[in-house]
Every structure is written in C-alpha cells, then in structure tokens.
Amino acid sequence: MLVQAVEAIGFGIATGAVIALGAVGFSVQFGMSNILNITYGSLMTLGAYMGLYLIDRGINAWVALLIAGMVIGVVSVGFHRWLLAPLVRKGTRAFAIVIVTVSAGVVLQYVIVAFAGPDAKSYGEQSGQTFRFAGFLLTASQVAIIVLTLVLMLGLHLLLTRTTLGRAMRATASNRILAQSCGINTDLISDTAWLLSGALCGAAGVALAITTVSFDFTLGPIFLIPMIAAAVLGGIGQPYGAMVGGLVVGIAGELAASFANPEYSEVVAFAILILMLLLRPSGLFGSASATRRLAA
Amino acid sequence: MEYYVVVLLVYLGTDLLAAWGLNLEFGVSGIANLAFIVTIAAGAYAYAICTLGPPAAMGNFQQYVGGFTLPFPVAVAAGTLTGAVVGVLIGITGLKRLRPDYQAVAMLVVSLMAATIVSADTGFLNGNAGLGLIPAPFSDQDPEFQRWAYVAIVAVCCIAGYLVLRRFTDGPIGRTLRAMRDDEYAAAAIGKDIVAMRLMVQAVGGAFGGLSGALLVAFIGGWSPGAWNYIETLALLTAVIVGGMGNNRGVTIGTFLIAILILQGVQFLPQSINTIRIGLREDLGWIVLGVLTIVFIWTRPQGVVAEKRPRYGGSP
C-alpha cells in the first residue's frame, strides 16, 4: 500500500514535471496577452510530430526536443502576431477569441492527421535503465525530463528576476500602458514572451511523446487540460504557481490512477480545473487584484 | 439515391434543432456553451435506454442502466427532458461571474469530462463501444414507408420546434435575453433575474439538443462517445457563426451550408483523395470548417445574415 503510494508519487513527479513545463508556457502567454490560447494543445502535438520526424532521421531525442522547441516558439510568435493580436485590436470579444483558438487547434490537428495519418506513433526504445531511490522507481528518460524541467524553470526564474528583459516582461504583463510610457517596446516584449512560451510548448510536446509509450494526433489536446488545471491552480499568469500546480496535478492524477481506475487520472485534472474555476478562479495563492482581473 | 435523400433530410432536421438550441444559448443570450453536444448525447442515450429492452433480454451483449421498452413518443419526450436537465447542469458551471472566455473553457472541460466518464464506465452506457440495435419507430412497416414517415416526424418536430423557439428569441423574452447578452449589469439593474434567465435558456436550449439527439439516434440506431466528440459542438457553432448569431433565419442557412454542403459535400470529393489515406476527405471537412469559423470571426462577425437591430416606436 505504502510502496504503491510512493511509486505513484514518483510517477506523479515525472508526469508533473512535463505538465509543469507546458503549464508555465501557457501561463506566460496568458499573463502577457490575457488570451486563453487553446491552440497550445495542438502546437504541442506539432512539436511531438516534429520530434518524431527528426528522431526517425537519426537525430538524438534531446536535440530533437531543442529544435522542436525553437520551431514551435517561432510558430507561436507568428500565430500571435498575425492572428490573435489583430483580432484583439479589432475589439473581438473574449469568447470569440477562445472560439478562434479552439478552431485553429482543430485545423492544426487535422492538418497533422492529413500529413502523418491517424495511427499511433512512438519514439521507440528510449531507455531500458531504471533508477530506484527513496522508494521511487523511474526510468532514465523520466529522470532526465525532471532535471530538464528544473533547469528550464531555474533559467526562467533567473530571466524574470535578474535581467532587464525579464523585468520588462513582468512590467508589461502587469500593466501594458504604464510599461509603454516607461519606454518599453511592449510589442517586442510580447513577441519575446510568445517565443519563450512557444519554445516551452514545443519542448513539452516532445517530452510528452518521450514519456508516453505511444501517442497520436490527440496528444496535445489531452494533456492541455491538466496543464490548464495546473496553471489555474497556481494562479493563471503566474509562472511559479504553474510549477507547483503541475506537481499537484501530476501527483493527484497518478495516485487516482494507481488506486482507482487509470482513466480517472484525467478526470482528476478535469475536476481540479472545474472546482478551481468555480471556487477560486484566481488560484490557490491568488490575490484580490488577480480575482478582479478574472471577474466578468 | 432515394435513401441518401432521406438521410440528408433527417440530418438536416436534427442539425437544425440543435443549431437553433445553440443559437438561443450562444447567439441570443451570449452563453458560449462549448458543451452543447453533451445535451444531444444525453437525449440520444435517454432515448436508447427507454426504447431498448433490459440488457439480459438481449443476451447481455451490451451493458446499460434501464431498458424500459417504452414506445417512440414517450422515449423522445424523455430524451428532450433529459437534454433540458443536462443543459441546466451544464449551465450551473457558467453561473459564476467569470470572464466569458473562462466560462467557455469551463464548458469545454465539462464536455471532455462527460465523454471520459461515459467511456471509462462500461456498466453505465456500455462505455467506449457504445449502444447499438436501438429500436426505430414503424420498424414493422414497409421500409420505404418507414423512411418517409420518419422524415415526416422530423419535419413536424422542426416546425413545432421553430414555433416554440420564436417564443424565446423574439418578443419580450428575446429582448430581455439580448439585453442580458449585451450588458448583464444593465439588465440586472432594471430588475431582470440573470440567474433565472440563464438557467431557463440552458433548459430550453438543452431540450432542443435532447430532442435532436433522440431523433438522430432513433434513425441511425447506434450511439457511442465517438459520436459526441467536443469537435461536434464546433460544427454547430460554425453554423451559428457563419449563418449569423442571434438570428434564426441566418442560423438555418448556416446549418444548411455547414452540415449539408461542407460535411456531406466532402463525400463527393474524388475517390482518389481517399486512396492516399482512408478518412482524408473527412479530415479536410474539419479543416475547412475551422478555417471558415476563423475567417468569419475575422471579416464578418455578424454572419451571412446579420441580426436585425430592434426598432422601438417613434422616430428618433
């Protein structure tokens, strides 16, 4: 019983690391542009298939993760600059923008199917070696992804707190007009934020494909919900909250899968998301100002 | 060929009922219900378990609750009612005063969650495999009579549905709902009960969804989670957006364009496309649909037929 719980928590940390990777990117986008970008899920799928393409051509999985991250980052910048930002400027209503991102996600998903086919894919053998410490049982690639997430999160933390660019990003996210009048080029900062978050999105897609045994074109949309749950749990728009939220959602999901039905790991994330939206939309550590931002 | 015409007419009728229901919620009242397909699913399942016999009587080849062997009209009424109840349950998610995009995402999640739970729980509605051999009305009659009689039933339901719909989209109720959509605070300030209005809209819209689902499943005879993927809501939403939000005539045109011309039209693309890969034509249908939604929101958010501005007595 206890061994089973500890092992589930270990898996939960590994899943949580991938969820956190995606959730932080999603949160950064929302914090910067105030848009719930549902296309994020399909962009993760695109990253996973791009990784597959590269790995099939003999490129190392971790290099593929890096390349897919950079490409999806650039795609995200274009998607925001040429589709979402003009719509926001035209004064399109918030729910119409969500419908646009849902539609764009569906279009991208079926474009991927049209090229790659609907059947399940796999990156093949990644690692036969397993590590066991403190009761956790993890594969080498899971350990590598946990380390990768930690490094990326630390890097993001240093970027946001220690650099001028990071300060400009935080200033733009909290008050765009004030930031503009301080001489910050907010359009450039927006692009940078979408580049970074898109890179996290693409990396999360490849990381998801590495950790799951096999995947198909629904990979991104399926994992988007736990990611949104993690982002909302930690207070949407706040990258640190999303990291903690990722761990909570990952561990809760794996515990449910281990002690109840494997399908329920998804239901746990759904339930967390709905409950948070209904009861505490500003997140567990949310402030009053964050709540006001989310009110109708 | 004649059979195909019957199929198209039944699909058009059931899609119209669903699109009208969604338009009442989304176009007229401003509730972006991305879980609308769940009300259709609820109506279809309710019809199925009402008309099917007990599972044991059919050799237990599929598992489900109920099995009441009820006649067609009672089962359709049960489907409609179930749709209304599920619509209200979905509506409760949208009551919290949140940004409308948050509400839309919450409802999208409800749709995914419902599909996951029904798929996972095989004892409830036979899980992912879904229900089959659902009885159709007039099954003891001549097949040709049966088909056209069914088209007549759907047509009568559509006409009756349209008459009921107009009571909600036009007149005093319609004006109140549009006021709620355009400025919720102003509507509340003049004494309109927003919560009651929203739940009423969800109940009526859900009833349309339930009726549509019951009529559809009685015709096709099978129903499974694959038939009510969240993307199906998007098809109805595209019909509403392309046709013209908040405007029954526009939505009727939109439904015809989307459900018939595009989603059925892709079947007539050259067979050679499907030799590249099976199902490619259907995938193209979804791509066209998504692009159309984006193009319309970008260039013509009011749709093909724009909503008429209400005019009140006297010249300004």
Range of the domain at A282: 2-294
Q: Are residues B36 and B183 both part of a single domain?
A: yes
Asked whether residue B167 falls in the same domain as residue B276, the answer is no
Tokens of B24: 């009442």
Contact by Cβ (8 Å): A153, B314: no
- Token pair 């690692």: residue: A127
How far is it, in rounded angstroms, from Cα B188 to Cα B179?
9
Please report which confidence band the pLDDT of residue A238 belongs to, taking 50, 70 and 90 as the band edges: confident
In this complex, how many residue pairs, one in chain A and one in chain B, have their CB atoms less than 8 Å apart?
A: 126
| Phi, psi of A175, deg, nearest 5 | -160, 95
Question: Which of B183, B203, B228 represents a domain boundary (last residue)?
Answer: B228
Span A32-46, mean pLDDT? 93
Q: Of B212, B228, B244, which marks where a domain is finished?
A: B228
Partner B contacted by A214 (CB < 8 A): no
Residue B316 pLDDT > 60:
no
Q: Which two tokens stand for residue A292?
A: 């006001």
Tell me whether residue B55 is in a domain.
Answer: yes
| Any domain includes B313 | no
Q: Do residue B54 and residue B180 come from a single domain?
A: yes
Interface of A with B in 76-95 (CB under 8 A): 83, 86-87, 90, 92-95
Nearest to B283 among A102, A114, A225 (CB): A114
Do both B100 and B195 map to the same domain?
Answer: yes
The number of folded domains in chain A is: 1
Q: What one-letter code names the amino acid at A157?
A: H
- Tell me the mean pLDDT in the region B50-77: 86
Cβ of A36 and B96 within 8 Å? no
Residue A251 sits in a domain whose CATH number is 1.10.3470
Tell me the pLDDT band of B309, cut-offs 50, 70 and 90. confident
Q: Which residues of B touch A41 (CB under 8 A)?
A: none
Residue A282: DSSP 8-state: T
A276 and B CB contact within 8 Å: no
Does any domain span residue B315? Answer: no
* pTM of structure: 0.90
**Are B224 and B234 part of one and the same domain?**
no
Contacts of B110 in chain A (CB under 8 A): 274
Report ipTM (2 d.p.): 0.88
- The tally of domains found in chain B comes to 2
Q: How far apart are the first and last CA of chain A?
A: 46
Query: How sure is the predictor about A296, in pLDDT bands with cuts at 50, 70 and 90?
Result: very low
Residue B59, domain extent: 2-228
Closest partner CB to A261 (pick from B96, B112, B120) = B120
At residue A212, the 3 state secondary structure works out as coil
